[in-house]
Amino acid sequence: AQSVTQPDIHITVSEGASLELRCNYSYGATPYLFWYVQSPGQGLQLLLKYFSGDTLVQGIKGFEAEFKRSQSSFNLRKPSVHWSDAAEYFCAVVGYNNNDMRFGAGTRLTVKP
C-alpha cells in the first residue's frame, strides 16, 4: 500500500542550527515527492518538489531535499534555521498518472531563540 512516514512528530532546534526532517515512502514505483509547510490556521505552501533528474532539489526559503531511491527517503534540510521557520512540515507523494496526493502525519518544528 502507498504510504508516507514522517518519523518525527515534533522537533525543536535552536535558531541558527541546522535542520533535517525525515520522510520515508512506500510506493510501487518512484513517486513524485513534495514538501509543504503549514503555518497555524493556514493552507499548505509548497517548499520544493522532486519529479526526476538531480536528486538534490533546491526549494524556497533556503530549504533543500535529497531523494535517495535506495532508502525510499526524501529528507528535508536547511543549514541555518530562522525563528520564522517554526511551522508544521508535510512530506507528500503522488503516483504517476494521478493527483491523489498522500501526506505524512507532519513534523511540527519549534525554533528556540
Query: 73-78 and 19-21 as β-strands: parallel, antiparallel, unpaired?
Result: antiparallel
Judged by CB under 8 A, the chain residues 15 through 74 that form the site for other proteins are 32, 34, 36, 41-46, 49, 51
> How many residues form the binding site for other proteins (CB under 8 A)?
26
Does residue number 13 form part of the binding site for other proteins (CB under 8 A)?
A: no
CB of 44 to other proteins, least distance (A): 4
- CB-based burial, 17-54: b 16+ in 10 Å, e otherwise: eebebbbbbebeebbbbbbbbeeeeeebeebbbbeeee
Query: Which spans of this chain sit near other proteins (rule: CB under 8 A)?
Result: 32, 34, 36, 41-46, 49, 51, 90, 92, 94-106
